[in-house]
Structure 1
Amino acid sequence: MAETPFDLAVIGSGGGAFAAAIRATNLGKSVLMVERSTVGGTCVNTGCVPSKALLAAAEARHVALNASGRFPGISTSAVEVDMAGLIGGKRSLVETMRSDKYIDLIENYGWELRQGNAVFAGGHDDPVLEITGPDGARESIGAAHYLVATGSASWAPPIEGLADLDYLTSTTAMELEEVPESLLVIGGGYVALEQAQLFARLGSKVTMLVRSRLASAEEPDASRALREVFADEGIRVVRRAAVSSVRVDPSTGGIVASATVSGRQEEFRSARLLVATGRRPVTAGLNLAAVGVKTGDGGEILTDNRLNSSNARIWAAGDVTGHREFVYVAAAQGSVAVENAFNNAGREINYRNLPRVAFTTPALARVGMTDKEANEAGIRCECRVLPLEYVPRALVNRDTRGFIKIVADADTGRIVGITAVAKDAGELAAAGVYILEAGMTVEQVANLWSPYLTMAEGIKIAAQSFTTDVSKLSCCA
């Protein structure tokens, strides 16, 4: 075997990579981290942090423009957006968080960082990393175990003419230094939802081309609620739209997209085009086949339930595994992979009650099963959908757009799913995780304490709606 100066070599430096490196160093292991680009991975650099920072700014502008009609006695206004200033502020926040939460931790924990491109070599039984630095210098390094945490990248479908266009992705859109006059968004998932509302609130005229419906993996109630919100905010949502080609209009320099909409051919025009149709694992160029690591059709590393690849010394964590693309999933996987590699812990991650949030306003969040998923799992379910007009917090906010839905097992009363479209829906999903993990029933939740005038009180009221006409409830009663 080749010399193995490190116990663990990690390729990547995002949430999964850092969780693994921290756990390994806490176990007394020597760790090498290799990063070919910017330390911190997707979340802090181009994903969660910058997108939510811009969404918060866009919401502040939206509230300023609309508060006069929402709250009697309040007069507000907003001028055009200084996009360059907004992006500058976003970059400053990202740099601060990258330093505080990533770069500084490397020195604190004491592992080694190499800037460079890593590929596997050496074969199945004796894998090593060949690292090429920014200056072209090469070195070969071995380790007892390896973790691949290279994340994912924006993916675009094979649309005629797309490769010839300067189209936007969720990453490049957040670097624009002026607001597009109009924006065409292809996609209807979480990223598409957030980006569409972001640019609409900054001043773009936004049209979404959606193959089926908004948030198609979520409850139909959620799709309808968000479509109504978007319509109120001037966002046009075109459903059942399959884009066949895109081109530049030579007379305007704008984009022309041809799509089949419910069987008819239509054209859509805009100044810019944003493609938000998902992401794919970044594994190309790692030479995984040379060390016996199998990948799936989308390039994802195929792992067992313990995050081990088809090579016993090579593990994977985060988006590169093809699991749900959340930084908290990546972090959990990184820690578990290290425990299994060095302690033979045999740990597996339970994704059953994994929460997810789209940070639109109102937000969309879910934990557990949808109505459809429960039925497909053989659960005879009973559901209630509580409009926000019955939630006191929404009334005082003067924003009753949305709902809270509970899916319960009709035979036991156990709650198996909660979906919400509401302000602070992410917090409702977090509370829902504890409810589902505890196996609580509708009756138990209906009779628990809940602070008055919180959005979380809506979960209790939704539970009460299984047995009570909540329109006849007094405050707190």
Structure 2
Amino acid sequence: MPDAATDFDLAVIGSGGGAFAAAIRATNLGKRVLMIERSTVGGTCVNTGCIPSKALLAVAEARHVALEAHARFPGISTSAGPVDMRELINGKRSLVQTMRSDKYLDLVGEYGWELREGTAAFAGTPEEPVLEVTGPDGARSEVRAAHYLVATGSSPWAPPVEGLQDADYLTSTTAMELEEVPESLLVFGGGYVALEQAQLFARLGSKVTMLVRTRLASAEEPEASRALMGVFSDEGIRVVRRAAVTSVRTDPGAEEVIATATIDGGQEEFRATKLLVATGRRAVTEGLNLDTVGVKTGDRGEVLVQNTLVSSNPRIWAAGDVTGHREFVYVAAAHGSIMVENAFNDAGSEVDYRHLPRVTFTSPALAAVGMTDKEALDAGIRCECRVLPLEYVPRALVDRDTRGFIKIVADHASGKIVGITAVGKEAGNLAGAGVYILEAGMTVEQVANLWSPYLTMAEGIKIAAQSFSTDVSKLSCCAS
């Protein structure tokens, strides 16, 4: 469209990681950018997701170490008193406010795009879409742009369980605002949010029970599920597998929530003072009037996009959680940058998830990159796998924490590594290293003969590669 026909080159709805990445890239290209936010600037990650949850997980880890260090390290004695949850939450809020200012609000002024408070909805036609923006005072304005980006993120979703809506349940968002540690906590779900939150509150002092439909971390390797089951059992977290929750009710007299679940064909009741529902998230698209401008959405409200991030309307794009793609802030940021290059430079770039790293911040952490064993088989790859227990990794022995493993999935014919999964301390860093291994197309033999610094967890990848051809139990601790 001619510049004279539009107010902006790019109008962005939302202000999270994808929105900011797009705005920064477009501004650097000299484009006129408007960002519209109806609530708090920064999106899920900084306000209610990554930053606050990991900040509290770090606190819980510190307390757990203080309580358990004497069992791991002979010769020291430590202790930890009750948790002042209100003080922890205040500290978390302070960190969030600082990062929101430093990494989001301050950047708006530095780059110079316009930030407008208000609620946006599409109007016009598919050929001539416009945005109607309603400000906090009720005033309305109309925005015309050459391109539009929907980056409205996602929100916690609860399944249609009888009585659940009346149970005053917690979500991953509201759990981060509790000012008292629950005496007991019932968690619905077995994914990464459920795992992190369950361990967080257990380590702060709650008695935690998880009701899981299949197994923990069901999208990852079964070895990861078994490893985490062991960790959680040791920490007093009860995990009930193959549990289908049928109803929820409250007991006002006991101030408890009661969940009924079907397990192995029978019914069982579970009680707790608080209930956390961590069963997934859904795209935030309600009220955007996407159908008015010819933008198709999926069953969960997600904007359906091509790998170039364009929607069914060539002038409307989407980025981040609202696409229904993997819910990581670095995915959203990549989406925002790719979208701008495609919209304004006709780059034709596509999102490639083949070597996407994924981390669950339990302790020990679960991290992976590339394919699982099953995914490789489903893709027609005749694979060969090795699972290395951490008892063979010198760093884990020194840390006196051998809970976990490193698994390598390789193509049997070529030896090319197609997937790495780890449960252990610093597992996220192992997945980060794995990205480069997979991107380079390296083989098991190549990795087994690379330099690797002694007494690092990264050395475990090399040892796991060596296990394809060597009995690693017979290696010296520093054998190359």
**C-alpha distance after superposition, 1:16-60 (max 9, x if no partner):** 000000000000000000000000000000000000000000000
Q: Does 1:27 align with 2:32?
A: no
Counterparts of 2:451 and 2:427, CA distance in 1? 19
Counterparts of 1:149 and 1:262, CA distance in 2? 42
Alignment correspondent of 2:134: 132
Q: Runs (4+) of structure 1 moved beyond 4 Å?
A: none
Match for 2:73 among 52, 71, 74?
Answer: 71
Counterparts of 1:217 and 1:463, CA distance in 2? 23
Amino acid at match of 1:177: E
Alignment correspondent of 1:389: 391
Amino acid at match of 1:259: A
Q: Percent identity?
A: 81
Paired residues in the alignment total: 477
Alignment correspondent of 1:370: 372
Alignment correspondent of 1:179: 181
Alignment correspondent of 1:82: 84
Match of 1:55, SS state, is helix
Q: Report the alpha carbon displacement of residue 251 of structure 1 after superposing the two structures with TM.
A: 2.1
Q: Report the alpha carbon displacement of residue 250 of structure 1 after superposing the two structures with TM.
A: 2.7
Alignment correspondent of 1:119: 121
**C-alpha distance after superposition, 1:258-298 (max 9, x if no partner):** 00011110000000000000000000100000011010111
Q: Report the alpha carbon displacement of residue 123 of structure 1 after superposing the two structures with TM.
A: 1.0
Counterparts of 2:258 and 2:169, CA distance in 1? 12
Alignment correspondent of 2:467: 465
Amino acid at match of 1:112: E
Match for 1:38 among 21, 37, 40?
Answer: 40
Alignment correspondent of 1:100: 102
Alignment correspondent of 1:276: 278
Match of 1:113, SS state, is strand
Counterparts of 1:475 and 1:234, CA distance in 2? 34
Counterparts of 1:401 and 1:303, CA distance in 2? 41
Counterparts of 2:360 and 2:14, CA distance in 1? 26
Counterparts of 1:436 and 1:420, CA distance in 2? 15
Match for 1:52 among 51, 54, 65?
Answer: 54
Counterparts of 2:214 and 2:107, CA distance in 1? 44
Alignment correspondent of 2:211: 209
**C-alpha distance after superposition, 1:102-151 (max 9, x if no partner):** 00000000000000100000111111110001111110111010000000
Match of 2:74, SS state, is coil
Alignment correspondent of 2:229: 227
Match of 1:174, SS state, is helix
Counterparts of 2:262 and 2:123, CA distance in 1? 47
Alignment correspondent of 2:424: 422
Alignment correspondent of 1:149: 151
Alignment correspondent of 1:453: 455
Q: Which runs of 5+ in 1 are unaligned?
A: none
**C-alpha distance after superposition, 1:303-345 (max 9, x if no partner):** 1111111111100000001100000000001000010101111
Match of 2:177, SS state, is coil
Amino acid at match of 1:397: D
**C-alpha distance after superposition, 1:428-447 (max 9, x if no partner):** 00000000000000000000
Q: Report the alpha carbon displacement of residue 3 of structure 1 after superposing the two structures with TM.
A: 3.9
Alignment correspondent of 1:254: 256
Match of 1:389, SS state, is helix
Alignment correspondent of 2:296: 294
Alignment correspondent of 1:351: 353
Counterparts of 1:49 and 1:15, CA distance in 2? 12
Counterparts of 2:115 and 2:190, CA distance in 1? 38
Q: Does 1:241 align with 2:246?
A: no
Counterparts of 2:278 and 2:337, CA distance in 1? 30
Q: Report the alpha carbon displacement of residue 92 of structure 1 after superposing the two structures with TM.
A: 0.3
Match of 2:110, SS state, is helix
Amino acid at match of 1:277: T
Counterparts of 2:65 and 2:345, CA distance in 1? 52
Alignment correspondent of 1:163: 165
**C-alpha distance after superposition, 1:431-464 (max 9, x if no partner):** 0000000000000000000000000000000000
Alignment correspondent of 1:61: 63
**C-alpha distance after superposition, 1:205-262 (max 9, x if no partner):** 0000000000001100000000000000000000000000000013202100000011
Alignment correspondent of 1:191: 193
Match for 1:332 among 315, 331, 334?
Answer: 334
Q: Report the alpha carbon displacement of residue 5 of structure 1 after superposing the two structures with TM.
A: 1.1
Match of 2:173, SS state, is helix
**C-alpha distance after superposition, 1:365-420 (max 9, x if no partner):** 00001111111111110000000000000000000000000000010000000000
**C-alpha distance after superposition, 1:176-225 (max 9, x if no partner):** 00000000000000000000000000000000000000000110000000
